[in-house]
């Protein structure tokens, strides 16, 4: 990819090498269990007591949970190698290009585009969706409208899944940004509400459609990055297609257990992921990404 020297997004927060503060988990737990605390008199009493203690400690200059004011991370600067710094620059450039693409597409339809934050972390991270480890892979949290990536995932993509290359890495970012677009358009909320009223198998089918649409949106971004800003080199498209195929549910299940269970798919088969990315990439049209109609 021809990404060097291009604009870098200011929406990247680099937490690599920083440890998650213990206090950050307190805030997440309180938020998660707030509805249960409010249901009982004892719970309400404990909640009020906790607020009084927290506010009082702040007034006296005592920080009882430093992680609550730090976004869940220690603030000591991380020592990054030159390669790590370059990787951070690459992520910032790709994010900036997605911003340019989606501002143009959505605002031409009269829909304001809210730029998401992208958090780089190491090991584990706290988000509005809870604590997560690097093992879950890159993810988007609609609760705080942030994308979270431990860049060690790219090593796994290359070494475990046989999908190297910078456009393969860019595809991963563009897919998560696709989920942000779904959040803006209300698609994610609609799917999650529907899933609460159906069986797990049917819910998985909706999840697959949501993920395939994010793949298609990633392809739409790739089309604009290529045709309007000439960022792609020969062979880049194949890198993304190899990556999409490598992380299909059927491929991953086969590698992990030796068998494939379609009813448990949550992201789509290799063939589906490749097909929907290609549809977005060849058309550049968000209207071609309706994975919810028909088969």
| Model confidence pLDDT, tens digit, residues 235-284 | 999 999 999 999 999 999 998 999 999 998 999 999 999 999 999 999 99
Alpha-helical runs (H) found in 75-197: 82-108, 152-159, 166-185, 187-195
User: At a CB cut-off of 8 Å and minimum separation 6, what does 163 contact?
Assistant: 157, 239, 242, 243, 245, 246, 247
pLDDT at 43: 55
Residue 211 has pLDDT above 90, yes or no: yes
Residue 67 has pLDDT above 50, yes or no: no
Q: Decide which of 263 and 213 is more confident.
A: 213
CA angle 245, 181, 72 (to 5 degrees): 90
Segment (H or E) for 147: strand 146-149
pLDDT at 193: 95
Which pLDDT band, with edges at 50, 70 and 90, does 219 fall under?
very high
Q: What percent of the chain has pLDDT over 90?
A: 75
> pLDDT (tens digit, 9 = 90+) per residue, 137-195?
999 999 999 999 999 999 999 999 999 999 999 999 999 999 999 999 999 999 999 99
pLDDT at 53: 52
Q: How many CB atoms lie within 10 A of CB 94?
A: 29
Q: Decide which of 168 and 19 is more confident.
A: 168
Which pLDDT band, with edges at 50, 70 and 90, does 69 fall under?
very low
First-residue to last-residue Cα distance in the chain: 34
Which pLDDT band, with edges at 50, 70 and 90, does 79 fall under?
confident
Supply the mean pLDDT for the chain.
86
d(CA 230, CA 223): 10
d(CA 14, CA 79): 11
d(CA 109, CA 106): 5
Query: Crossing angle for the helix pair 187-195 and 166-185, nearest 10 degrees?
Result: 80
Strands 130-133 and 124-127: antiparallel
- Mean of the pLDDT values across residues 186-214? 95
pLDDT at 73: 41
Residue 49 has pLDDT above 70, yes or no: no
Q: What are the distances in angstroms from CA 270 to CA 88, 181, 241, 242, 266? A: 28, 23, 9, 9, 12
In the block, tokens 């994975």 appear at 291
- Mean of the pLDDT values across residues 195-215? 95
d(CA 124, CA 225): 31
Residue 1 has pLDDT above 50, yes or no: yes
Cα 109 off chain centre by: 24
pLDDT at 29: 46
């Amino acid at each position: 990819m021809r990404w060097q020297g291009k604009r870098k997004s200011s929406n990247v927060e680099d937490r690599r090498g920083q440890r998650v503060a213990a206090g950050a988990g307190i805030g997440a737990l309180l938020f998660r269990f707030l509805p249960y605390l409010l249901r009982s008199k004892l719970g309400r009493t404990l909640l009020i007591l906790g607020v009084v203690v927290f506010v009082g400690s702040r007034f006296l200059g005592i920080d009882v949970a430093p992680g609550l004011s730090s976004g869940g991370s220690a603030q000591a600067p991380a020592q990054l190698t030159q390669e790590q710094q370059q990787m951070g620059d690459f992520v910032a450039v790709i994010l900036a290009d997605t911003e340019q693409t989606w501002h143009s597409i959505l605002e031409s339809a009269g829909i304001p585009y809210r730029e998401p934050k992208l958090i780089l972390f190491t090991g584990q991270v706290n988000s509005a969706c809870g604590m997560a480890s690097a093992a879950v892979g890159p993810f988007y949290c609609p609760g705080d409208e942030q994308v979270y990536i431990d860049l060690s995932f790219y090593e796994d993509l290359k070494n475990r899944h046989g999908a190297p290359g910078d456009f393969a890495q860019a595809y991963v970012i563009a897919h998560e940004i696709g989920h942000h677009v779904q959040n803006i358009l209300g698609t994610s909320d609609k799917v999650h509400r529907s899933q609460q009223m159906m069986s797990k198998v049917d819910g998985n089918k909706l999840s697959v459609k949501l993920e395939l649409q994010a793949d298609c949106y990633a392809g739409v971004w790739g089309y604009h990055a290529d045709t309007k800003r000439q960022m792609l080199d020969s062979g880049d498209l194949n890198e993304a297609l190899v990556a999409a195929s490598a992380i299909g549910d059927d491929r991953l299940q086969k590698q992990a257990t030796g068998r494939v269970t379609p009813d448990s798919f949550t992201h789509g088969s290799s063939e589906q992921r490749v097909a929907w990315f290609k549809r977005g990439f060849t058309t550049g049209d968000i209207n071609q990404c309706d994975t919810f109609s028909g088969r």
